[in-house]
Amino acid sequence: MTGTIKTGMVALLLLGSTGTAYASTQGTFGATSTGSVNINASVPARVRISGLTDVDLTNSDPSMNAAVAQNVCVWSNTATRGYRVTATGSGAANAFTLANGALPVVPYTVEWSGTSGQSIGTSLTTGSVLAGQTSSATVQDCSAGPASSASLIVRVGSSALQAMPAATTFTGTLTLVVAPE
């Protein structure tokens, strides 16, 4: 039995207010002349999720639960580095299910942890926000600092695996949306 889940990413943005305007000063005529300009910029709240890899449950033993955990990078530039995450599946009504044509769909579960290297996390419900997450990432793609900052865990229960015909590939897409907090 084979199950493949393609993970996706979407980053949301929130715009901040613009910076305050000041006044430049002009130089006077002299041996030296000094002028100045004020520089203003506004950086909106941003997040990014990256480092995602497809979940491959090929040849899972149907006598036991199958689970795949992966470390991902979530970066947030808010003062608290906070974010929230929402997951949706590609099944009917965004259900977390894998499909193969007319065969019965195979359900899976999704868990999320705000730290990397975890094999257990908070269970996600499709379309529901998991708030209050905090990232340790210092750059948006985790190319510096921590290489990852969160864990995504996908599970397919033994009973679901046993319902799948052998040597048949089931696929689905899991979409993860993060937003700044």
Instruction: For the beta carbon of residue 13, count every other beta carbon within 10 angstroms.
Output: 11
17 is an interface residue for another protein by CB under 8 A: yes
39 is an interface residue for another protein by CB under 8 A: yes
Q: Which of 27, 104, 117, 165 binds another protein (CB under 8 A)?
A: 27
Whichever of 146 and 157 has its CB closer to another protein, that residue is: 146
Whichever of 21 and 92 has its CB closer to another protein, that residue is: 21
51-80 positions binding another protein, by CB under 8 A: 77-79
10 is an interface residue for another protein by CB under 8 A: no
21 is an interface residue for another protein by CB under 8 A: yes
What is the C-alpha to C-alpha distance for residues 48 and 131, in angstroms, rounded to an integer?
A: 15
Q: Exposure string (b/e) for 33-72, b if CB count within 10 Å is 16 or more?
A: eeeeeeeeeeeebbbbbbbbeebebeebebeeebbbbbbb
46 is an interface residue for another protein by CB under 8 A: yes
42 is an interface residue for another protein by CB under 8 A: yes
* 156 close to 2: Cβ distance less than 8 angstroms: no
